[in-house]
Every structure is written in structure tokens, then in C-alpha cells.
Amino acid sequence: MRKATVERKTKETSVRVAVDLDGTGVYRIATGIGFLDHMLEQLSRHSLIDLEVEAKGDLHIDFHHTNEDVGIAIGEAVAKALGERKGIARFGQALSPMDETLTEVAIDASNRPYLVWKVSFSKPKLGEMDTELFREWFQAFAQAAGVTVHVRNVYGENNHHIVESCFKGLARALRQAVAIDPRRPDAVPSTKGVLGGSL
């Protein structure tokens, strides 16, 4: 069973995350940040990864610490659930349209974290959330999950649509990447025989 639970506690936040990579997209999200909750619900629903997130943080300062630590904890839980990454498809990609917006996301679950973020916003905030924090979430997730993630907003005008298409694209690409390949369910998808390292 590819399940994992992670608890992360610092002086700034307390986060608990549970994932089931072979779930049906059931979620229970409570971060204290309404827009982030909405995005994580999209992530769970469209990846079919069951996701529980419970976070308490220093929101009286700003959303930065909670946003980042939630990304780290979800990434750590995904990495833990993947284990040695045997049998996974490894790669995933998605074109995610939302009304006037189109975003492209590609993933390599290589155990080599990297983020390429080609997304810009026309406003500094969405509701109460700083738009710069979305890159921080993706960076935290990619680093902790051990995945290379490329996100490119091809075009779009509405900032809400742009962010949501990024998370939906991540979800659909992640769904492909962590799926078990029935043709090689016990093999690590690398000529090296192990995922990770510098090559």
C-alpha cells in the first residue's frame, strides 16, 4: 500500500499530512488559508491521490511559513509513499485549460528535485494571498517530493484561472508519473537501477 503520513513541527507551523497514492481523490484539507485549501482540493481530486492536510501556522504574520511548510510536508509524504519508486511510470505531462488560460506541466519523479516556473501574474494578491507564494509552494513540494517539475503558463489573463490551471496540471501530471506501469511493476525506471543522483 503506497500510503504515508508526515508530521512537521517548527516554531512557526504544525502540519500533518496523509497521502494514499492509489486513492480516488478523497480529501480533507484545513490549512487556515482558504485559497490554498481550494488548490489542494484540486490537486487531490485530479491526481486521484487521497490527501489529508491539517495545518496551524503563524498566519497573523503572513501566509508564507504555512504555505511553504504545507508544500514541504505534502512533498515528503509523496516521497515516503513512493519508497524506492519501483514500477512507477516516472514521467507525466498535462496541458491544463481553464477558460482563457492554458498551462503546461511536466514531471519527472526522478528523485532529483528541480523547479522551472514560467508563470507570471498581473496582480500581487489573490484575495489575501500573495501571488508570489504559489511559486514558493511548488518549489517546496518539488524539493521535498524529489521531483523535477516544469510549469509554463502558455497564456491567460485571469490570475485565479492561471493558478488553478497550474495546480490541476500538476495533479494530472503527477497522476501519470506515480502510476504503476503494468509492464514493469517491479523495476526502477532508470538504466542506473536507482533513481536519484546527479545524472
d(CA 129, CA 144): 22
171-to-42, 61, 66, 149 alpha-carbon distances in Å? 7, 30, 21, 11
What is the model's pLDDT at position 183? 84
Instruction: Report the SS3 class of residue 163.
Output: helix
pTM score: 0.94
What is the model's pLDDT at position 188? 72
pLDDT per position as a tens digit, 61-101? 999 999 999 999 999 999 999 999 999 999 999 999 999 99
d(CA 29, CA 45): 12
List, in order, residues 6 or more apart from 4 with CB less than 8 Å away: 18, 19, 77, 78, 80, 81
The mean pLDDT of 166-186, rounded to a whole number, is: 94
d(CA 21, CA 24): 9
* pLDDT at residue 123 is higher than 50: yes
Domain membership flag for residue 189 = no
What is the model's pLDDT at position 185? 78
What is the model's pLDDT at position 192? 66
Return the CATH number at 109. Answer: 3.30.230.40
The domain total for the chain is 1
d(CA 33, CA 28): 14
d(CA 140, CA 3): 20
Domain membership flag for residue 10 = yes
* pLDDT at residue 5 is higher than 60: yes
* pLDDT at residue 190 is higher than 80: no
Domain membership flag for residue 199 = no
Domain of residue 83 covers 3-178
The mean pLDDT of 42-52, rounded to a whole number, is: 98
What is the model's pLDDT at position 197? 59
Domain membership flag for residue 195 = no
Residue 85 backbone class (left: φ over 0; alpha: ψ -120 to 50; beta: rest) = left
Mean of per-residue pLDDT scores for the chain: 94
pLDDT per position as a tens digit, 132-155? 999 999 999 999 999 999 999 999
Domain membership flag for residue 171 = yes
